[in-house]
Structure 1
Amino acid sequence: MKKYKRRDVGKAIVMALRDLGGSASRKQIRRTIAENEYDGLTYEGVYYTKKAKTGMYSPFLFDFNFGLKNLYSVGYVEELKRNQDVVLTDLGRSADLTNYPSKEQQRIIAAYWDKKNALRAERNKAKKLANDQKEEAVDSNDEQDSADNDWKTQLLDQIKKFKPEKFESFSRLLISKMGVAIDKEKGVQISGDHGIDGFGYFRSDEFRTSRVAIQCKRYTSGPVGEAEIRDFKGTMDSFNAEYGIFVTTSYYTDTAKRIAMKGNRTVTLIDGQELTDLIEKYQLHIKPVTTYALDDYYFEKD
């Protein structure tokens, strides 16, 4: 995986929010940035993780949180509230981003952080902060994002270590939880010898049953490309499948995404990040841990 170089990501955040209709969760914004590679950012860079003494962390997440606060300081997003969507202001929706941040905006951002640091210094006269940068970048909402990122990063790393047979079995298990009834003969015994990793049936609310082909690619690096999707679509024909599900621990090229949507038989693409989200949703071999987040009552406004 390519390393991520620290930088200002404010422009990419605004671009993503505009595409998302002006309001979205932090997770949705990061995913949209990664998938569209806004402002020179890459999928691998956005989800790159680095090992630290206390575990894994995401360098992009630090810049992302700084970027949100910078955007608030210049009036591009509304006040950032815990556990709520980030919302563009009218200015954020219409401003020209070509020269963001301008010299004047840089001055406003610097003044914002000077004020934040001064307030923090007053609250911490009795002790020296162990990690000034982390304290600047992370509030309680950011810490929740970081915690969510930590266990999902570990989860994806472990899945990438699965043997091919286990990954295929795991993918079939997950897809069965999503409502696809796996055909025990075609979906398990026969499929492996015929270019797919699973086959089953999905019954919709309209009582229509569709034939579903499943393909799994356990990639440790690099994206799934056009060729893999074309091959899978060709194999789907031999099973007379009406649609397909392609699961990878990696991600997909733009061309692969376009090919997946072409024709009568479309393919649903599940990448590594969505894979961890689905595992969380269906509680697949994970144990939830209960914790608490403080509400705004406990936080003094600047």
Structure 2
Amino acid sequence: MADNEYDGLTYKMVYSSKTGRKGNTYSPFMFDFNFGIKNLHSVGYLEQPKRGQDIVLTDLGRNDDLKSYPTDEQQKAIDTYWDQKKAERIARSKTKDDPSEDVVMTDSTDKEDTDNLSWKAELLACLMAFDPAKFESFSRLLISKMGVVIDKERGIVRSGDHGIDGFGYFTSDEFRTSRVAIQCKRYTEGAVSEPEIDKFKGAMDGFNAEYGIFVTTSHFTEQAKKKATQGSNTVTLIDGQELADLVEKYQLHITPIVTYALDDYYYQFK
């Protein structure tokens, strides 16, 4: 959605987070998305959404005329669904005004989605606060976890004078070793543009690098993405969200917390 800017959505609109009155961080987009999915399920357009699986349209969802959505009848079905959810939430909390939330949680999976986005938003905020040297060091550490062996002489000591922030070697499963150049940009606003990629590619030539990795806390313009794949020295782009996903995948200086959430089965009392 963010990459293609469907319905005018931008990267920032999709991935931005807000802090509630009580200090909890949440994603406005994720709440809108989850509410929208549940509305579509309540009127029969979607099969029961299941965590970690594709969202599946029903025959009605594929074939109905959406010009009149929601009809009066559909709106009643939507209202009935949310009234039921509200009653279940009140039954669980034993109060009509749950002080633990600034925004309505529809179920445990919504909270899990929000919690997941919250720590990643906090991670990106911390990375943006790093000084340039620490962000470069962090990026090299992460990329080394991904299998690139950093050249400690060419890739660290001299990298600042040659237009790159790291250099190393990657050996594929076929035992082919490639030279890898690394570039890091710690952006708090705006996107990495085509000239930045072009400049990096020029620096890669000085190191005879077969390919490059460009890491940013922000995101890339469409022109930058096209430039990255042109020519013989292609560049792998890692934006802020992918950066957070990789930190999670490689467990880089994070502490996993294992917990469990009850599914809807336990809240259906009849």
What is the TM-score with the length of structure 1 in the denominator? 0.81
Q: Structure 2: 5+ residue runs without aligned partners? A: none
CA contact (8 A) 1:62 1:138 kept: no
Q: 1:57 — aligned with what? A: 26
DSSP-derived class of the 2:70 partner = helix
Q: CA RMSD in A?
A: 2.3
Give identity over the alignment, percent: 60
Are 2:50 and 1:81 aligned?
A: yes
Q: 1:37 — aligned with what? A: 5
Q: 2:76 — aligned with what? A: 111
Q: 2:175 — aligned with what? A: 207
Q: 1:16 — aligned with what? A: none
DSSP-derived class of the 2:179 partner = strand
Q: Deviation at 1:82? A: 3.6
Greater CA deviation, 192-201 or 87-96? 87-96
Show the 5 A alignment for 1:124-273.
124=90, 127-130=95-98, 134-135=103-104, 138-273=106-241
CA contact (8 A) 2:51 2:109 kept: yes
Q: Deviation at 1:134? A: 3.6
CA distance in structure 2 between the aligned counterparts of 1:35 and 1:184, rounded to whole angstroms: 35
- Equivalent of 1:284 in 252, 263, 269: 252
CA distance in structure 2 between the aligned counterparts of 1:273 and 1:288, rounded to whole angstroms: 18
The 1:104/1:248 distance shift into structure 2, 3 A limit, reads closer
Q: Deviation at 1:104? A: 4.1
DSSP-derived class of the 1:35 partner = coil
CA distance in structure 1 between the aligned counterparts of 2:81 and 2:200, rounded to whole angstroms: 53
CA distance in structure 2 between the aligned counterparts of 1:138 and 1:45, rounded to whole angstroms: 21
CA contact (8 A) 1:75 1:89 kept: yes
Equivalent residue letter for 1:147: D
The 1:34/1:109 distance shift into structure 2, 3 A limit, reads farther
CA distance in structure 1 between the aligned counterparts of 2:177 and 2:59, rounded to whole angstroms: 46
CA distance in structure 2 between the aligned counterparts of 1:241 and 1:223, rounded to whole angstroms: 24
The 1:233/1:291 distance shift into structure 2, 3 A limit, reads same
Q: Deviation at 1:155? A: 0.6
Q: Deviation at 1:35? A: 1.3
CA contact (8 A) 2:45 2:60 kept: yes
Q: Deviation at 1:294? A: 1.5
Equivalent residue letter for 1:149: L
DSSP-derived class of the 1:155 partner = helix
DSSP-derived class of the 2:2 partner = helix
The 1:104/1:58 distance shift into structure 2, 3 A limit, reads closer
CA contact (8 A) 1:73 1:108 kept: no
